[in-house]
Structure 1
Amino acid sequence: MSGSRFNLVAIMALMLAAVQFHGTAAQTTHVVGDALGWTIPPAGPSAYTTWASAQTFSVGDVLLFNFTSGFHNVAEVSQAAYGPCTTSNPISIVTNGPARVTLNAPGTHYFICTVGTHCQIGQKLTINVSAGSATPAPAPAPATPAPVSPPTAAPTPVPSTTTPTPRPTSSPAPSAGEASPVSPPTSSQSPSGSNSPSPTDSTIPPPPSPSFAPSFTAVVPFTFLAMALAFFY
């Protein structure tokens, strides 16, 4: 029984340590001013304004102020005290450098140096802290590519339907011994005042029917031949 309790306590301790380690690893430490450090800026307060605009601050992050103790300090003040550089009654103050300030609440935070007139010269900082979780946000899912339309096929050219104009062909010349084709007679108008019908108006009689009776010229030689044979015999 005691062994089971020991195992349960050990598991809970490991889970708590993992959570604490994850929260510590998720914190971001911001070095104020980077290489410039926390000092009187040569270009005025714009140096720290420009630096802060390039940072992203979240609850749990740490500000690291690099300065030499006795020459500077860092104090968090209210908005009303920030403008006129009022050094009395700060929210918090750290006099030993380098100083680490943890951002525990979201919103706008104001920091100044209360030594002499350092704040008036430009040693002051304003930051905006987001209320987001200290853990990094998951990467956004990749966007789904839009479907690509298939290429449109070029229209098939329609062949021309123009009918070629036939060219007149010359009739072949008639060969030797072949009668030339005779064009059919065309009706011609008879001269004025003449009542004679035109050749085309007359009725052409049909050809006579063929007769199968033997002609006289064929019968005579046959009769003469029969009589000669009878006389000879």
Structure 2
Amino acid sequence: MAALSDSLIVLEVVMAMAVAQFFGFTHGCWSGCPSACPPGVQYQVGGSVWSIPPSPHYYTNWSSSQSFRTGDSLRFGFETGNNDVIQVTKQEYESCTACNPLKVLNNGPAIVPLTEKGVYYFISNFSNYCALGLKVSVKVRDCPQQSPPTPLPSPSPLPAPPSSSPVPSPRASGGSNSPVPSPNYGYPPEAAAPSHDKSMASALSRFRRGSFETLFGWAFELCLVVFAIL
């Protein structure tokens, strides 16, 4: 029973440590693990083809309604030879000029990856399309970087199980060296008696029986003597 109790104590300690480590890990991830950046999205500029808009602020309104992040891309839908896309600075964007273009895309459809955060400016340098509202600015936000998870604390060593005291033997607990009596198992007292007691009892019985026979013989002989005298 003592060994079983010690094993149960050690098992409870191991289970408690496993539960604590589990909740510590999940709590750390729930509170500290950063959200992963979603896969890059490709946006169709304006939601349609890259062409003269129905209103001067059409592309500005479309851009402000989107949420661009690094890893996304822009798709300018147009036919080669009928339009173009020029990436310019803010000054040239506002003035609809392309004297010092940052990027020129003449083949359509044109795909522009958004690799860095910041504001991108695009215009059409085809005819007077820019003055008619064919330009767009895109604000790109940085995708949150993933930081390494917080390391879990090392588990504490298991406590040593309590030592069990030896069970005293009946000889030691009694304080004497007297032998333990043998059980009687339901037999008569004579059957459970030692062998030397049995011998003494048998001898006494024979002595009693012999004495009786001797007295009887003496009485019989005395009677014969009396009858002979008479």
Shorter-normalised TM range: 0.3 to 0.5
Larger RCO, structure (CA 8 Å, separation 6 or more) = 2
- Of Structure 1 and Structure 2, which has the larger fraction of its residues in helix? 2
With normalisation by structure 1, the TM-score equals: 0.45
Larger Rg: 1
